[in-house]
Structure 1
Amino acid sequence: MVTRLPTPPQLDGWNHLYSGKVRDLYVPADGSDAHLLVVASNRVSAFDHVLEPPIPGKGALLTELSNWWFARIDVPNHLAGADSGAPPVPAEVADRATVTRRLEMFPVECVVRGALTGSGFAEYRRTGAVCGIELPAGLEDGDLLDAPIYTPAYKAPLGEHDENITFERSVELVGEEVATALRDTSLRIFAAARELAAQRGVVLADTKFEFGRDPRAAAPGPAGLVLADEVLTSDSSRYWDAAAYADTALPRAERLASFDKQIVRDWLSAHWDRSGEPPALPAEIVSQTRARYAELLERLTAA
């Protein structure tokens, strides 16, 4: 069960629609349905619980990084232009909110793995494969793959966990044309992003993308795909420091230290048995987590 979420703020020109663990969605107060206001909160979640206290500035850091990537990806995205006719972003959330087109989302989460780690490594140890894709024997946690692999997931209904699926199952869900476009577009974006990250001394290990279709427009691009949600942020991607990763003398945990909330997960794993409500995060864990988010943004976006 997810812990109770705080009451979202009232925003001029927008009505609250829905709150997830880390984001709040609003629709125009005038009743139009073409746009959404997506507000990235400072909330942090782990193990299906929203934790206390929040991470100061987290929403703004992730919004800035996502928008930076959107500007560098040659795929249509969900951001609404200034002349879209939507209400403006309220001043009190201006640094962590975006106005987007309202899309019909595909029920497939597009995961691309350039390295074998996390749940993918756990599955590989059990089966020798990830989402039905056979991999060479003898791979270790954190090994880079010869070529990135596409391992989609089914976006489960609210309150349920996403389910890893095969490409063939994604075809059954959305049809062959869309499934192929989702795969090929995701791999192409990942390849370009990984190259750019490498130029900044960062390894992009894996990520997830989400796509939709605008029912009001014939969107350009393969199968009318529109890139949506957040993109290539610390909350949707795993990044490693390239210098640390290359230093094989370091312990594996240091080589694979990611620029995200892994600090939070590690602390909770050491101080909570996952029964009842999780403990409050210490100030030093909050500070260290914010610093990791901020460092990734600075390293990627620096000229």
Structure 2
Amino acid sequence: MNPVVLQSELGDSSVPVRHGKVRDVYDFGDRLLFVATDRISAFDYVLPTGIPGKGEVLTRISQFWFDRLDVPNHFLSTDVSSLPLPDRTNLAALQGRSMVVRRTDVVPVECVVRGYLSGSGWAEYQKSGTVCGVQLPDGLKESSKLPEPIFTPATKAEEGHDENISFERMSELIGHDLSQRLRELSLKVYQQGVEYARSRGIIVADTKFEFGQIDGELILIDEVMTPDSSRFWPQDQYREGGSQLSFDKQFVRDWLLSSGWDRNSAPPSLPDDVVARTAEKYIEAFEKLTGTKF
């Protein structure tokens, strides 16, 4: 496996770049270069330790979904040499973790779809019986399957935590018609993904989509149904009434909670065994979902 990449670079470039929690986005005018690093975040902090292969897993899973889902998307190619890259760019360091995509006018709202009651949704339900203002039936348990998937938007945050908002608040921010279109499209795409993942033995408990627009057409962008943007649960081990095993950063969260870290200061480095087990989970998710070896 290739060395861990915590930050990408394009030689002595003056290409504008934006660094997210995981992705570095380079601006080439009508096209963008998305580079998925091996950074990992937890509890709203980017950790100092990377997960080997993680960026490649996220890129290849997103490409898999872009090819499979029946929805317009921004993906163009994984051939980074199609861009006017600066001299001395290390192409080998970009291979496998990069996507060339179309530029869109990004919609500033996260489109979250939940099919099961977990995470912040479960916490809110226990207090009020709702999730993001959506009233749910009484008597649900942690990890219960919902009667039907629900759309629960959130504000986008470059740093820190995305904030859950109601559909009404989303409509105030971006307009009712666009909000309605996004809700319908998000539920449609989620259902497509859920049905396929189920055939591979994976429950997609919830997921987060991002959309942009090109000439008024909604375009699926960023990453799609990866272990970073979704809760993947093994179907054969699902049990209603508690937390579930997952194909993501479960080992990282568990270790951080037991480490004595106060979650208000710089996070500690991860031990080798936690890094290795987390890398295995990401790769397992890719192989189980796509049916191909990593």
TM over 0.5: yes
Q: CA RMSD in A?
A: 2.4
Question: What is the match of residue 289 of structure 1?
Answer: 278
* CA deviation string 1:27-81 (max 9, x = no partner): 23xxxx1111110000111122221321011100110011001111111111125
Structure 2 length-normalised TM: 0.89
- Report if aligned partners of 1:8, 1:16 keep a CA contact under 8 Å in 2: no
Residue 176 of structure 2 is aligned to residue 176 of structure 1: yes
CA drift at 1:229: 0.6
Question: What is the match of residue 246 of structure 2?
Answer: 258
* CA deviation string 1:8-45 (max 9, x = no partner): 422487724111221111123xxxx1111110000111
Change (3 A) 1:191 1:14: farther
**Identity %, equivalent residues:** 48
- Report if aligned partners of 2:7, 2:24 keep a CA contact under 8 Å in 1: no
Q: Which amino acid aligns with 1:123?
A: E
CA drift at 1:160: 5.0
Q: Which blocks of at least 5 consecutive residues in structure 1 are unaligned? A: none
Q: Spell out the pairing of 1:64-213 with structure 2 (5 A cutoff).
A: 64-80=60-76, 86-87=83-84, 90-156=91-157, 158-159=158-159, 161-213=161-213
* CA deviation string 1:124-172 (max 9, x = no partner): 111110011111111111000110000011224x445322111122122
Question: What is the match of residue 239 of structure 1?
Answer: 232
Partner SS for 1:80 = strand
Residue 35 of structure 2 is aligned to residue 44 of structure 1: no
Change (3 A) 1:130 1:283: same
- Report if aligned partners of 2:212, 2:221 keep a CA contact under 8 Å in 1: yes
Q: Which amino acid aligns with 2:15?
A: N
Q: Which blocks of at least 5 consecutive residues in structure 2 are unaligned? A: none
Question: What is the match of residue 224 of structure 1?
Answer: 217
More deviation, 112-121/258-267: 258-267
Change (3 A) 1:61 1:12: farther
Aligned residues: 282
Structure 1 length-normalised TM: 0.86
